Amino acid sequence: MELLIVRHGESVANADGRMQGQSDYPLSEAGERQAALLGRFLKNAGLRFDAAYTSPLTRARATALALTTALGMPEAQLTPDLSELHAGSLQGLTRPEIDASFPTFMRRGLSELGDFSEYGGESYDDVQTRVARLKARWHEAHSSAGHRVLVVAHGGTNFHLVKALVCDPVPRVMSLKFGNCTATLVRMRERRGQHLGEIVFHLPVDLLGGAAGEGLVGVF
């Protein structure tokens, strides 16, 4: 099985520099262009998918629709476990606002990132449980050799998902940048009795001629 894991295009909140979490924001005009650009690339590359899944949040759904339309395939299945991490009271705030109201977050070490329980959001373990459900679901549904799955989600979710697919044990810290519309192809393999993934490519949209977009993924 192969999974192409895509972060949504730039949203209006990304453009404003806001922490989104599970707050629902639409794509910006730049984000719509990014999604269309990636869709054309996937079509021209001749990639075909047996299934598609998307976060139910608007920015991911719109990105997924652009991709499935370009590829001439059915719309992606809405998958709540692909929603972005809930960031609690940080949601909707800019960096300066977070620094002013929740300065401890800005001073956190790398090993503390990805846990928002202190701010009324999801804990690290909550997110890992979500990821485990996704892995089990896809392993059951798409274990046949040659199956390729399209997944559209978010920077935080994709970070947790990719490291859980390719690492054992799963590290708390990993360095892999997920810009807007970055596409990561993970190939799952049986190796010595273990089902583990390998990253085949990690493609930022700026290599296709679009602006990458940053959002607040650096804070995460």
Between the alpha carbon of residue 93 and those of residues 12, 16, 20, 108, the distances in Å are 13, 10, 8, 17
Sequence-separated (6 or more) residues with CB below 8 Å from residue 37? 181, 205, 208, 209, 210
Question: Among the options 2, 10, 84, 122, which is catalytic?
Answer: 84
Q: Is 86 a catalytic residue?
A: no
From the candidates 8, 86, 154, 160, give the one annotated as an active-site residue.
Answer: 8
- Pairwise CA distance, residues 4 & 27, whole Å: 20
Beta-carbon count within 10 A of 162 CB: 21
Tokens, residue 152: 């559209």
Residue type, 177: K
Distance CA 53, CA 192 (A): 29
- Please indicate whether residue 8 is annotated as part of the active site: yes
The residues that are catalytic are 8, 84
